[in-house]
Every structure is written in structure tokens, then in C-alpha cells.
């Protein structure tokens, strides 16, 4: 139930936010502190090379900064054209 409520809030936030950021996991959470593992889960990542599209908010940017050695921001292809 809580997961469904959290996902619904996330979808509502994404519908309001115009900008999104795509994040890809490039490192393993093995031998990392629990807080970093939880941050990856919060970003919707759990395996290497998985991608997640998230709203571009200060909270998400802070989470990305906390695990910047384990993730990378994928450039948006639509902006390149």
C-alpha cells in the first residue's frame, strides 16, 4: 500500500515538473554503506546499467550527488537535435 502511494506521488510530481533527468547506475552498491544503497533504491536503481527517469528537483539532484560515484546522468537525446 505504501509503495503504491509513493509511486502515485512520484507520478504526480513528474506530471507537474517539466524537466526530467535520466540516471544510469554504473557502480555496484556492494561494500558501500547502507545509506548509499538506500539512496540507489530511492532513485529506482538496483542493478548496473539500469536507467531511471526522475523529475529534475533539488531533492533528486541531492540524491544523485550523494551517490555520484555509482551513477551517471544520461544526456537527453531530444536536446541534441
> What mean pLDDT comes out for the span 9-33?
84
What pTM did the predictor assign?
A: 0.74
Question: Residues 49, 53, 54, 58: what is their CA dihedral angle, to the nearest 10 degrees?
Answer: 60
- In this prediction, residues 23-30 reach a mean pLDDT of 97
Q: Is the pLDDT of residue 4 over 60?
A: yes
76 backbone φψ class: left, alpha, beta (φ>0; ψ -120 to 50):
beta
Residue 36 has pLDDT above 50, yes or no: yes
Hunting for cell 533528486 — which residue is that?
60
- The answer to whether 74 touches 24, Cβ cutoff 8 Å, is yes
CA 2 vs. chain centroid, Å, equals: 19
Report how far residue 22's alpha carbon sits from residue 58's, in angstroms, rounded to the nearest whole number. 14
In this prediction, residues 28-32 reach a mean pLDDT of 95
| Predicted local distance difference test score (pLDDT) of residue 16 | 60
Domains and CATH numbers, the chain: 17-76 (3.30.1390.20)
Amino acid at each position: 500500500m505504501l509503495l503504491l502511494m509513493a509511486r502515485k506521488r512520484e507520478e504526480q510530481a513528474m506530471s507537474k515538473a517539466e524537466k526530467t533527468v535520466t540516471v544510469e547506475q554504473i557502480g555496484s552498491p556492494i561494500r558501500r554503506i547502507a545509506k548509499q544503497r538506500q539512496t540507489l533504491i530511492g532513485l529506482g536503481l538496483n542493478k548496473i546499467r539500469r536507467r531511471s527517469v526522475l523529475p529534475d528537483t533539488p531533492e533528486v539532484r541531492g540524491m544523485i550527488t550523494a551517490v555520484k560515484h555509482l551513477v551517471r546522468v544520461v544526456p537527453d537525446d531530444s536536446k541534441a537535435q
